[in-house]
Amino acid sequence: MSIGVVKTIRRHHGEDDLVERMARFENFMLATNATPHIWGASDCSLLIADWAMANGYADPAAHLRGQYSTEAECRGLLASLGGLGAVVGACAASIGLTPLYEPEFGCVAVIGAAARPDRQWSAIWDGHHWMVRWLSKDDPTWAAFAAPAIGMWRI
């Protein structure tokens, strides 16, 4: 067991089904690493909807899938719907997710600069950091971010 796992368990020890959620998240990260980044199908904005489905929820973003095929189209759609925070908030509400004020393991969030829509990302809390699936030059990869949460919801 790594020191990171021990620290996560210590920080989140009172949360229900913590070990099961940690294992589910590890498997989710491994599975998504094998998934290509495709705008409108398996991109960073839709990833938190995929995480919700991995936890037994219906697809909260079904109405968004296939509606864009480039980053510019994604940003345009999000802007027309009130921004990433509004879209994620509406998706979270559609499946009954509870808003949070402190992160708990596996919760989803919109992180970044509230006044800068181009500097906002959907993320999942891994117990220490906000994890964002980042599109690097070569492949998509998970990256740890230290950024304030604009809104977060319990999965």
pLDDT in tens, 122-133: 999 998 899 998
Radius of gyration for the chain, computed over Cα atoms and rounded to the nearest angstrom: 15
pLDDT in tens, 27-85: 999 998 888 888 999 888 899 999 999 999 999 999 999 999 999 999 999 999 999 99
- Measured between alpha carbons, how far is 45 from 84 in angstroms, rounded to an integer? 8
Q: Determine the pLDDT at residue 21.
A: 85
Share of the chain above pLDDT 70, in %: 88
Please give the full DSSP string across 97-142, using - where no structure is assigned: PEEESS--TT-EEEEE-TT-GGGEEEEEE-SSSEEEEEE-SSSEEE
User: φ and ψ at 86, to 5 degrees?
Assistant: -65, -40
Q: Determine the pLDDT at residue 137.
A: 65
Residue 42: exposure state from Cβ atoms within 10 A (0-12, 13-18, ≥19): middle
Q: Is the pLDDT of residue 9 over 80?
A: no
Q: Determine the pLDDT at residue 62.
A: 97
Any idea which of 14-18, 74-78, 86-90 has the lowest mean pLDDT? 14-18
- Measured between alpha carbons, how far is 108 from 45 in angstroms, rounded to an integer? 11
Q: Is the pLDDT of residue 10 over 70?
A: no
Q: Is the pLDDT of residue 2 over 80?
A: no
Give the mean pLDDT of the chain. Answer: 88
pLDDT in tens, 96-150: 999 999 999 999 999 998 888 888 999 999 988 999 988 766 677 888 999 999 9
- Split at pLDDT 50, 70, 90, the class of 89 is very high
List, in sequence order, the alpha helices (H) in 12-83: 18-33, 47-54, 71-80
